A and B are shown apart, each in its own frame.
Chain A
């Protein structure tokens, strides 16, 4: 319980008895040797060759079977896999923790290429809800439109949709970059904590609602701003980065980035460091 009598003398945090809290993680210097030999693969992942290519027809397969087959092909060293007839199946291409060139000749259903870490994926069709959710690293390119919650909770990597996306794009994202060539729906960047969203077209209502950190760049019209989302000045470093990213994304390289609107957090909702220790004490 906060000591309300002494709040005048002490800071708000001190009166709540928070000063025993130390914001540190585990130090792991003992594991670290900066002179390690160059090795660009995670320990225990498959060594694949991008030039070794194969095709996989998943027309008569369920998603778990197809995903196991992809894993098996990677273990044989195939670095480029083309998936034929995905036919909008859900949860295809999930959990790939390897570098890989994966191409889908068609559209995906819900939760396509979720929880991946490393692959470069190209989808020559549309995707349903929550495409590439929890992406850690890699690149996902969707040639047509995407459903809602596009890139939900991604941590890293590049997620590109050349068409338009639904609502709640980048909800709860904690890193990475989402690039949309067309328009985006309502609540784009909802509760985003970090990372970057670029939308070249228009966005719906409540843009960046309750965002904690991160950057949103909008090329078109904005329906309305969400709670704590504010505009910020576009710096020269922002412009350079935007040009580079649009080139990487293969989307309209000649787009005039200087006319884009930058949206950041107003930081009025930054109360976690006050609330967390209090909640911990309550739980104990």
Chain B
């Protein structure tokens, strides 16, 4: 009996390691590969889980809610949690030192905050592009 319980725990651990890599949906099983950006694009944000940073951002922009950030979700690329930056047209992986909560809504809020920090950073790839190609 005890052995069975141990086995179950092991399976759960394996699932955590393979975060975002397993073929779970019927679509993924049908095409035989994992869809890296799989998350519910229709998920509406839970405003109870908004972070203090996002609150400040919304106030600074003069908006009443998350606005365009409602479309930002945490995805998974190559088995790692990541957020897609539309301006750089690439996935930005979440640093390993950041501990992620278990629910997708809280993860989405973290993804939104990190995306803002990435986009506003002077290290963003668009900064160099702007310097090189900006007209006038």
The residues of A with any CB-CB pair to B shorter than 8 Å are: 11-14, 18-19, 21-29, 31-34, 36, 38-44, 50, 99, 101, 118, 120, 136-139, 155-158, 175-177, 194-196, 213-215, 237-238, 241, 244-245, 247-248, 264, 270, 273-274
26 contacts between A and B (CB under 8 A): A12-B30, A19-B33, A23-B34, A23-B35, A24-B77, A26-B91, A27-B77, A28-B125, A31-B123, A31-B125, A32-B114, A32-B118, A34-B98, A36-B117, A41-B120, A43-B126, A101-B62, A120-B63, A137-B68, A138-B67, A156-B68, A157-B67, A196-B44, A244-B47, A248-B64, A264-B42
Besides A28-B91, A215-B44, 17 other CB < 8 A contacts?
A11-B32, A22-B33, A23-B34, A25-B90, A26-B88, A32-B95, A40-B56, A43-B122, A138-B63, A138-B67, A139-B67, A155-B71, A156-B69, A175-B71, A194-B41, A196-B44, A214-B41
Distance between B42 CB and nearest chain A CB, rounded to angstroms = 5
Given the known inter-chain contacts A24-B36, A27-B93, A248-B64, please indicate yes or no for A238 contacting B44, CB distance below 8 A.
Answer: yes
Q: CA–CA, A26 to B98, complex, Å?
A: 21
Among B32, B62, B121, B123, point to the contact of A14 (Cβ < 8 A): B32
Question: Would B42 and A215 count as touching, CB distance under 8 A?
Answer: yes
Q: Is the CB of A44 within 8 A of B127?
A: yes
C-alpha gap A281/B37 in the complex (Å): 23
Which of B's residues lie within 8 Å of A, judged by CB?
A: 27, 30-37, 41-42, 44-47, 53, 56-57, 60-65, 67-71, 77-78, 82, 84-86, 88-93, 95, 98, 114, 116-127, 130, 134
A27 to B64, CA, bound (A): 32
**9 cross-chain pairs, A with B, having the tightest CB-CB distances, nearest first:** A156-B68, A26-B90, A137-B68, A175-B71, A13-B31, A40-B60, A241-B44, A248-B64, A29-B93
Nearest B residue (CB) for A241: B44
Docked Cα-Cα span, A89 to B78, in Å, equals 49
**Interface contact B71-A33, CB-CB below 8 Å:** no
Are A213 and B41 interface neighbours, CB within 8 A? yes
A214 touches which one: B42, B78, B119 (CB < 8 A)?
B42
With a cutoff of 8 Å between Cβ atoms, the chain A residues found around residue B119 in the complex are: 42
Kindly state the separation between the CA atoms of A13 and B33 in the bound complex, as whole angstroms: 9
Chain A residue at minimal CB-CB distance from B117: A36
The answer to whether B35 and A273 have CB atoms under 8 Å apart is yes
CB within 8 Å for A39 and B120 given contacts A28-B85, A50-B62, A155-B86: yes
Chain A residues with CB under 8 Å of B84's CB are 25
Known: A31-B125, A42-B119, A274-B31. A175 touches B47 (CB 8 A): no
The answer to whether A43 and B32 have CB atoms under 8 Å apart is no
